[in-house]
Structure 1
């Protein structure tokens, strides 16, 4: 049961980051992106390149998590590493941008990592 829950939650974290990537790379200055990140149009336009870069990094997190998931049990360490990266990014974002980031980004990864570590204990 723990293995299935860890896998599902890790996949959910990957899907969340895929969504973040798409928002940041393609919709940052569009109504969907501006609403999601509460951006004024002029700021969204001015920061579009920075957001696309940030989105690319989210894409790397997705790639790592999917890689670990595809490897199954053999991808344990890869999943641990990339979930750890998500947690660090979420905690940093919560400390520097908005507390909401902790709950949307870091907390699901913390739970997934805990389940992943419990299954191998």
Structure 2
């Protein structure tokens, strides 16, 4: 089950790298503005804020990816595996909390929250099962 958790975490990390690209590199592009429902003027004004948020998404992806590497290469009885579990929990848990915050503060963002939070939720559940059955 740890492999399932790692795959889900890796996919969640990729989603967050994609979000980073949108928010940090492509924020003012027409296609990105359509995704986020912003105007050209609003995108120009909010570009620094979006970039900052994008960096947070990248950091979450890095934490989750580091956890994936550790849980897949470490001896299950070593401290490295425990560190990998902790990184997965921190990365995926933060992604999930951000998605929950998004949907609870703006119900119109349900689709975005689902994209952002489904893989982390499933990854955390798989990690829990892997931990309980180890």
TM-score range, shorter chain: over 0.9
Deviation by residue 1:78-103 (Cα, 9 ceiling, x = unmatched): 10111110111011111224122331
Distance between the aligned counterparts of 2:21 and 2:127, measured in 1? 27
Q: What SS class does the counterpart of residue 71 from structure 1 fall into? A: helix
- Deviation, structure 1 residue 3: 2.1
List 4+ stretches of structure 1 deviating above 4 A.
none
Partner of 1:95 in structure 2? 104
What TM-score results when the alignment is normalised by the length of structure 1?
0.93
How do 1:26-105 and structure 2 match up within 5 A?
26-72=25-71, 74=81, 75-97=84-106, 98-105=109-116
Offset at residue 71 of structure 1 (A): 1.0
**Distance across 1 between alignment mates of 2:34 and 2:45:** 16
Query: 2 CA distance for matches of 1:3 and 1:52?
Result: 33
Is the contact made by 1:11 and 1:66 (CA closer than 8 Å) also made in structure 2? yes
Rg larger in structure = 2
**Backbone CA RMSD of aligned residues:** 1.2
TM norm structure 2: 0.84
Q: Which runs of 5+ in 1 are unaligned?
A: none
- The answer to which of 107-116 and 10-19 deviates more is 107-116
Larger mean CA deviation between 35-44 and 110-119 belongs to 35-44
